[in-house]
């Protein structure tokens, strides 16, 4: 498949050899790599945490979260012993919370089935929750110097341009071709540095828009540059259709504290935010919120604030009507599991992004 796509690439110049890329890119990485808190640690656990956090999230966003998380759970044993709500609270604000749940579950499996040591075997490591092909390659190459490839958006863009390869990581056929190509380039030694060099090049030089080609250490080998096709590679993949969602939430205060409920279900499970409902077309927000509050054993007079908050979760564009509830008498048995009044800081509680916006 890789050869087929390479053959379809525009003619003009030979493909860069692995050795020529290694000679240029590895010295550049040693000189130019960013100083990041997880680099050079030599601890497989810390490499793993950083790689999980960096999935779908920018380095600048991850850095403070990583440091706080490691301060809270400095070893995999500490993470394995932690309560799930505490792990989610430490992750709160970083998003994609399934990553935190999988990392926590994997840590417990490592403690129980691998004597607390992260397995260096790709098959055994790959069986842990949330560990896919990218994570296997990144963690085991960086932490154990195993000659395994990685492929993320940055690496895919670099390879597509270097080889003028019309392949997108978001398309199955293109992803397979790029994985095969990445596998042919990994050196037997210093595989971790090589993988990080590719990722660093994509993150800082070979940018999606406005690539800094004059600063690129492998520009002389880049077929896309020679063919003046840098801006059109890799080819864009079809974008996932945006789904518009309307919600309503109720802000109910008591003694300066705000009522929060724990969400359940596949999306944001275990996270906390003010009580709310998803609105069907032409549904009454007041009535729907009233029914939701009744289930919590809370009666409140609901008043519209006129405020609307917009935010996004993956492909869901969410518009939220904000209502204020004046708390009335509690129905019998008002204490409901998964609902509590919390203070402004809500320390130790895993708040959703919406809850944080509503508190600001």
pLDDT digits (tens, 9 = 90+) for 273-313: 999 999 988 889 999 999 999 888 888 899 999 999 998 88
Whole-number pLDDT of residue 349: 82
DSSP 221-288: G-HHHHTT-GGG-SPPPPPPPPEEEEEEEEEEEETTEEEEEE--SSSSTT-EES-EEEPPTT--HHHH
Does 331 lie in the same domain as 250?
A: yes
| pLDDT value at residue 332 | 41
**Residue 337: its pLDDT value, please?**
65
Residues of the chain with pLDDT under 70: 1-13, 328-337, 345-347, 360
> How is residue 67 written in tokens?
């440091």
pLDDT for 331 equals 43
The CATH number covering residue 190 comes to: 1.10.340.30
Supply the pLDDT for residue 303.
94
Q: Of 259, 229, 255, which is closest to residue 359 (Cα–Cα)?
A: 259
Are 177 and 128 members of one domain?
yes
The pTM of this model reads 0.82
Q: Is 253 a catalytic residue?
A: no
User: What CATH number did the domain enclosing 319 receive?
Assistant: 3.90.79.10
Q: For residue 299, is it within any domain?
A: yes
What integer pLDDT is reported at residue 142 of this predicted model? 97
Query: Do residue 261 and residue 184 come from a single domain?
Result: no
Q: Mark whether 81 and 154 lie in a shared domain.
A: yes
Query: Cα–Cα distance between 275 and 356 in angstroms, integer?
Result: 14
Q: In the Cβ-directed half-sphere of 263, how many Cα atoms lie within 13 Å?
A: 22
Single out the catalytic residue among 19, 51, 321, 327. Answer: 51
Q: Per the domain annotation, does 223 fall within a domain?
A: yes
In a domain, 348, yes or no: yes
Residue 36 lies in a domain: yes
Instruction: Please tell me whether residues 125 and 224 are part of one structural domain.
Output: yes
End-of-domain residue from the set 176, 204, 232: 232
Residues 192 and 105 in one domain: yes
Q: Do 15 and 59 belong to one domain?
A: yes
Q: Which of 178, 204, 232 is the last residue of a domain?
A: 232
| Closest of 79, 95, 75 to residue 87, by C-alpha | 79
The label of the residue with tokens 């999935």 reads 55
- Per-residue pLDDT of 312-348, as tens digits, reads 887 889 999 999 998 764 544 345 567 888 887 666 7
pLDDT value of residue 327: 72
Whether 317 and 203 map to the same domain: the answer is no
Q: Cα–Cα distance between 309 and 247 in angstroms, integer?
A: 10
Do 348 and 225 reside in the same domain of the chain?
no
**237 is a domain residue:** no
The answer to whether residue 343 sits within a structural domain is yes
How far apart (Å, rounded) are the C-alpha atoms in residues 287 and 285?
6
pLDDT value of residue 169: 95
Last residue of a domain, one of 174, 209, 232: 232
Do 259 and 199 lie in one domain? The reply is: no
- Residue 153: which domain range? 2-232
Structure tokens that stand for 307 in this block:
């405020």
């Amino acid at each position: 498949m890789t050869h087929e796509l390479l053959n379809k690439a525009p003619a003009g110049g030979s493909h860069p050899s692995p050795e020529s890329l290694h000679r240029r890119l590895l010295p550049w990485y040693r000189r130019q790599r960013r100083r990041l808190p997880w680099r050079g640690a030599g601890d497989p656990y810390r490499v793993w945490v950083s790689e999980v956090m960096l999935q779908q999230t920018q380095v600048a966003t991850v850095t403070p979260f990583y440091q706080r998380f490691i301060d809270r759970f400095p070893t995999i044993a500490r993470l394995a012993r932690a309560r799930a709500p505490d792990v989610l609270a430490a992750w709160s604000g970083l998003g994609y919370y399934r990553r935190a749940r999988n990392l926590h579950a994997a840590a417990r499996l490592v403690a129980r089935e691998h004597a607390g040591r992260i397995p260096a075997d790709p098959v055994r490591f790959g069986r842990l929750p949330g560990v896919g092909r990218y994570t296997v390659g990144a963690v085991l190459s960086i932490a154990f110097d195993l000659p395994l490839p990685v492929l993320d958006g940055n690496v895919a863009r670099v390879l597509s341009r270097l080889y003028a390869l019309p392949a997108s990581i978001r398309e199955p056929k293109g992803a397979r071709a790029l994985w095969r190509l990445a596998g042919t380039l990994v050196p037997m030694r210093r595989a971790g540095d090589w993988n990080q060099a590719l990722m660093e090049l994509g993150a800082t030089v070979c940018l999606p828009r406005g690539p800094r080609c004059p600063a690129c250490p492998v520009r002389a080998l880049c077929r896309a540059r020679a063919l003046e096709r840098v801006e059109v590679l890799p080819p864009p993949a079809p974008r996932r259709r945006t789904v518009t969602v309307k919600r309503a939430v109720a802000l109910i205060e008591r003694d300066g504290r705000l009522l929060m409920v724990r969400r359940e279900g596949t999306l944001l499970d275990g996270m906390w935010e003010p009580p709310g409902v998803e609105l069907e077309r032409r549904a009454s927000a007041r009535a729907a919120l009233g029914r939701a509050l009744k289930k919590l054993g809370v009666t409140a007079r609901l008043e519209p604030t006129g405020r609307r908050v917009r935010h996004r979760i993956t492909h869901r564009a969410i518009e939220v009507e904000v209502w204020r509830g004046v708390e009335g008498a509690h129905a019998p048995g008002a204490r409901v599991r998964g609902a509590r009044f919390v203070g402004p800081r809500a320390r130790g509680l895993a708040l959703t992004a919406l809850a944080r916006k509503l508190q600001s």
